[in-house]
Amino acid sequence: MGVAAFPAGFLWGVATSAQQIEGAVAEGGRGESIWDRYASVPGNIKDGSDPSVACDHFHRWREDVELMRELGVNAYRFSIAWPRVLPSGVGRVNAGGLDFYDALVDGLLAAGISPFVTLNHWDVPQALQDHGGWTSRAAVDAFTAYADAVSRRLGDRVRHWVTHNEPWCVAHLGYERGAHAPGHRSPGGALRVAHHLLLSHGRAVEVLRRNAPGAEAGIVLLLSPVEAATDSPADRDAAREFDGEFNRWYLDPLFGGAYPADAVADRVRRGHLDGAGLDFVFPGDMACIATPTDFLGVNYYSRAVVRAGPDGRPLQIRPVPDDQLTDMGWEAHPRGLRDILVRVRDEYAPAAIHVTENGAAFGDPPAAPAAPGPIADPRRVEFLRAHLEAARDAIAEGVPLRGYFAWSLMDNFEWGEGVARRFGLHHVDYATQQRTARASAHWYRDFIARGAIEDDAPQHHTRRRP
């Protein structure tokens, strides 16, 4: 398989996010984020680490752009730290914070790499959280003002904009399960949060269209194909319920302007919505959420296999033996990427799709002293190879896939798991901040380059059809 199977202009990228790599949390006028606060509470981060230094990318970004240039990627998905731009959440824009991204964007463009910018990759200013964060409708205006400030500064150069990363994670991990910042446990609150995220997406798209004419705007969802563990009616209904909460709660409003009726009924039945129902939905909201976008970003890590638990509640099971799971406990299931892409195309017909994240956490073999060359990571290489094959299959079936971003350029702060989980194409030694290529980095580089050779256009990042 070569990249020749991928369409012209395909974006080959790597992805990161600000909170996971930048560090320098108190420099350049940056305000506190909800993840700084959450990580400061003992017990919240499994390995006891925190994001205050992370990969020190704030100081080492030039070196990191160089890593990307060596990979031969033509796109880089990164996020802007909201509290660098609006340290107090509202009001004064910190021009110094924007200077950092201004220089990064210029550095990327000079290296032939297109910046693919995410506005909200979870690091909300703590000052906004102090006023309710995403549970408050005021966060919608705050996010819109933030989108305006960033796109006024970068809109002349950035051609791809993402409003939010994975609203399901923000709403459910952050506000229902308490497993992510801000650590709340309120199922009803999570649905309100999800609505405010979606509404602010629609508002921000309008702002981006104004400030960055001709640029493409979209949202990134974490999506999984959902399968019932058995054919029993109870397991099948549990799979339907899981799909409603995880996938359709976001896809239906974005592409159809309404929450899925069966999923709303589930939430009422489960006591997650009180008698007032969807009282956070105001006239005009749903049309704003369904504002047409230029692409959907799909983050894909695994499928969900679901059985009915007590009361029929959906419970995810591990369909393969534990020794076949990644270090996150997630099953590598490449075919699921093809399945979710085809389904999204069939049921929602987005104008275009990018795989905005895909990757796997694996530990390294014990260090071989003075072993030459890259760090061996055969399981990550196979993960990438098989998922790119699945992406190619989806394209062959007519899916308008326009880009693929490997998660991640380098190891980083993996949220509640801390730095112990390693997703990088490059290894990071946190004591020295040295980056070392893994074999997967070389494999990805060669995969991209092979396409250029096959297409007989080695100087270009764009690929022609065979």
What are the C-alpha distances in Å from 99 to residues 75, 95, 117? Answer: 20, 6, 15
Of 22, 50, 148, 166, which lies in the binding site for ligand FCB, with binding defined by CB under 6 A?
Answer: 166
Residues that contact ligand FCB, how many (by CB under 6 A): 12
Q: How far is the CB of 416 from ligand FCB (least distance, A)?
A: 10
Q: Which lies closer to ligand FCB via its Cβ, residue 114 or residue 299? A: 299
Name the one range near ligand FCB by CB under 6 A: 60-68, 162-170, 337-345, 371-379: 162-170
Kindly state whether residue 235 participates in binding ligand FCB, applying the rule CB under 6 A. Answer: no
Q: List Cβ neighbours of 130 (8 Å cut-off, separation of 6 or more).
A: none
Residues facing 299 on adjacent strands: 222, 357
Q: Which lies closer to ligand FCB via its Cβ, residue 249 or residue 407? A: 407
Residue among 22, 176, 331, 357 flagged as catalytic: 357
Residue with tokens 């099971």: 317
Kindly state whether residue 165 participates in binding ligand FCB, applying the rule CB under 6 A. Answer: yes
Kindly state whether residue 142 participates in binding ligand FCB, applying the rule CB under 6 A. Answer: no
Of 116, 175, 423, 444, which lies in the binding site for ligand FCB, with binding defined by CB under 6 A?
Answer: 423
Q: Find the angle CA(442)-CA(444)-CA(445) to the nearest 5 degrees.
A: 60
Q: Which lies closer to ligand FCB via its Cβ, residue 288 or residue 391? A: 391
Q: Which lies closer to ligand FCB via its Cβ, residue 61 or residue 413? A: 413
Is 357 part of the annotated catalytic residue set?
yes
Stretch 212-231: interaction string toward ligand FCB, x if CB under 6 A = ----------x---------
Q: How far is the CB of 454 from ligand FCB (least distance, A)?
A: 31
Kindly state whether residue 120 participates in binding ligand FCB, applying the rule CB under 6 A. Answer: no
Of 357, 377, 393, 455, which lies in the binding site for ligand FCB, with binding defined by CB under 6 A?
Answer: 357
Q: List Cβ neighbours of 247 (8 Å cut-off, separation of 6 or more).
A: 221, 223, 224, 226
Stretch 380-419: interaction string toward ligand FCB, x if CB under 6 A = ---------------------------x------xx----
Kindly state whether residue 300 participates in binding ligand FCB, applying the rule CB under 6 A. Answer: no
Kindly state whether residue 22 participates in binding ligand FCB, applying the rule CB under 6 A. Answer: no
Is 66 part of the annotated catalytic residue set?
no
Catalytic residues: 166, 357
> Which positions lie near ligand FCB, rule CB under 6 A?
17, 20, 165-166, 169, 222, 299, 357, 407, 414-415, 423
